[in-house]
Chains A and B, each alone.
Chain A
Amino acid sequence: MSRRTNFRHFPGFMALGLLCMFLLYAPLIIVMVYSFNDSISVTRFDSVSLRWYRDVFFGLEAGKFRQATFNSLTIAIGAATVSTVIATCASIAMLRAGRFRGKLLSFPLLSLPLMVPEIVTAVATLIFFSAIGFAAGHATILVAHIVFCIPFAYLPIAARMQSIESVYEQAAQDLYASRWDSFRLILLPLLMPGIISGFLLAFIISLDDFIITNFVKGAGVETLPTAIFGAAKQGIKPNIMAISTLLLLTSIVFVSLSYMFGRVESNNKRE
């Protein structure tokens, strides 16, 4: 049985795997390596220096990048917060409210943004905003981000809630807790690892988003990804590699944290 499912026995599996890994990570490694290049060339490596990191923070385009970073962070925090609250409410409705009309349809609707091509959502959102006369700017980006972050926040929260038996909330109500108290004192603390994991995931998804942001942002409003794209259009300079490396590190940290919070819960699960 285990022999049949052991992929290592397929001829060429190792080579194919290595090729995939190479194609995935080689570009990232090149960007990271060249971000420490002292020369202005993006093809020839001179010597190691932090020149382009200084350029990102203090160079000609530093002001633009700083503003874009600020926009990205505020939008990501706002979008992650609101979508986490909505996702928490949604998972309570899906897993604790018993049966209700339209429940069967709710899960596909919740997770639809994961499946719809992002470009379609982007165009549709843009058309929708202009149809209702919602002026492009920070607010449009925030609203769009909240919407597509919901499923990313929902998945870890719902997974956590599934592992919490409802007998805890019953015990709380049996001990004179109102519905609100049993949520606040019992369900919420038990749910917290899932909520943190969901928040971090939503945060990084919002921080990284380019396509939808590019469509719905107003003129002059830039987030970090759109600012990088704008700068790259005028020719790739090593400072773009430096800022991309920084963004990459941020992503890795947040995704790892999200994963760790998701895991702590399953290790701690009692009985």
Chain B
Amino acid sequence: MTPSAHTAVGIVGVTKRYGDYVALRDLSLEISDNEFFTLLGPSGCGKTTLLRVIAGFEEISAGSIFLYGEDIGALPPNKRHVNTVFQQYALFPHMTVLENVLFGLRRLGVAEDNARKQGFEALELVQMSGLQDRLPAQLSGGQQQRVALARALAPRPKVLLLDEPLSALDLKLRQAVRLELKQIQHETGITFVFVTHDQEEALTISDRIAVMNEGVLQQVGESREIYESPSNSFVASFIGETNLLPVRDLRVDGARATCLLPGGVQFSFPAEGGASAGEGLLSIRPERLSLTSPQEGLLNGEVVDHIYLGTDVHVVIAVAGTLSLTARVQNDGAASIPDLGARVGVMLEAGAVRLLRN
């Protein structure tokens, strides 16, 4: 089973073991040409290992890796036409910015004239023209990050690998560089494979996201798809925030569904099709819940906590003592936010509830 030549990176049944520890478990994935692809997961989920496997720093225990149809699984890193932006940048401290950027081109045997032209182009792309004679130690963290990017882009790799390149920057800079990265990906047309543990970063920057956990691929899809239709409870709770409710006796009847919540509370809500299932897990995003009077609510409860987020407030509601629901309410003045101890009703629209099977 060979991926087509239009697949930038084809990963077929890749397993990576360190002794008894399995870092990647029978993982298959296709990354398309000219795509901003993100590997997302908590630390230790195997996302960085997968990146290092593509770069060639780790040998795989089983499976194969294809780069535009070519099997690269057995090639050393210097024979793979991919470049990496390292988390610690790893700029060569004894070389100037320009020498750093020209390093890859010179190793490839590109004629000096062309190499310099490409090098300056890369520096321009990351807005570092004019600093080519500095040493890395004379640059700020953000500037070093740009040079690392230019160095990896200069040889025009088929795929650019980015290992949490923004994690060392402060929040404001990170948000700015994020947009720039996306723009550079557009301009160059190079496939980007981006590793991060920051779900917000992943959602804003990616064409597609692969969510990983414990060496296993959980779900691959566009940002919207991952957020709106998580395939399991891990994805639902890792990407954004959600209320996860274990339910029994779930019955769907036309546009309405009923089920039993823990504590024996009967819950009836609008549904968009779907099949009856005995047991399952309901996922409801806090922003899809709205508050109303206790008489109108699908569920009633008591406000037990406020979590202040700035633009919004999370209102935590205890339902029937055992169950806790979080609703996100826009912070448009104190009026719309119920006081602690107040009894409120909870409303939701059709499509707000997603049933997960574990």
Contact = CB atoms under 8 A, between A and B. Distances in A.
Interface in A132-187: 165, 167-168, 170-178, 181, 185-186
Contact of B94 (A173, A181, A189): A189
Name the residue among A167, A176, A178 with the largest chain B CB count within 10 angstroms.
A176
A56 B82 CA distance: 66
Contacts of B76: 173
Contacts of A174: 55-57, 77-78, 82-84, 152
A177 B102 CA distance: 12
A194 to B, nearest CB: 14
A133 to B, nearest CB: 46
A48 B103 CA distance: 61
A190 B83 CA distance: 22
A165 B76 CA distance: 20
A190 B57 CA distance: 21
A54 to B, nearest CB: 47
A165 B93 contact: no
A190 B94 contact: yes
Contacts of A172: 92, 103
B304 interface: no
Given A174-B55, A174-B84, A270 B137 contact: yes
A177 B103 contact: yes
Given A175-B151, A176-B155, A270-B136, A170 B90 contact: yes
Interface residues of A, number: 19
Nearest to A269: B93
A219 B107 CA distance: 54
B65 to A, nearest CB: 15
Given A172-B103, A190-B94, A270-B136, A177 B86 contact: no
Nearest to B76: A173
B28 interface: no
A167 B78 contact: no
Interface string B177-214: 00000000000000000000000000000000000000
B93 A171 contact: no
A185 B93 CA distance: 12
Interface residues of B, number: 24
Nearest to B52: A170
A181 B103 CA distance: 11
Given A173-B78, A175-B155, A176-B78, A167 B88 contact: yes
B108 interface: yes
Contact of B88 (A165, A186, A268): A165
B57 A171 contact: no
A173 B88 contact: no
Interface in A217-271: 268, 270
Interface string A181-223: 1000110011000000000000000000000000000000000
A33 B11 CA distance: 78
Contacts of A175: 78, 83, 103-104, 107, 151-152, 155
Nearest to B161: A174
Nearest to B104: A175
A167 B90 contact: yes
6 contacts: A170-B86, A173-B77, A175-B107, A177-B78, A177-B103, A189-B94
Given A171-B90, A174-B82, A175-B104, 11 more contacts: A165-B90, A171-B84, A174-B56, A174-B83, A175-B83, A175-B103, A175-B107, A175-B155, A176-B108, A177-B78, A190-B94
Interface of B: 55-57, 76-78, 82-84, 86, 88, 90, 92-94, 103-104, 107-108, 136-137, 151-152, 155
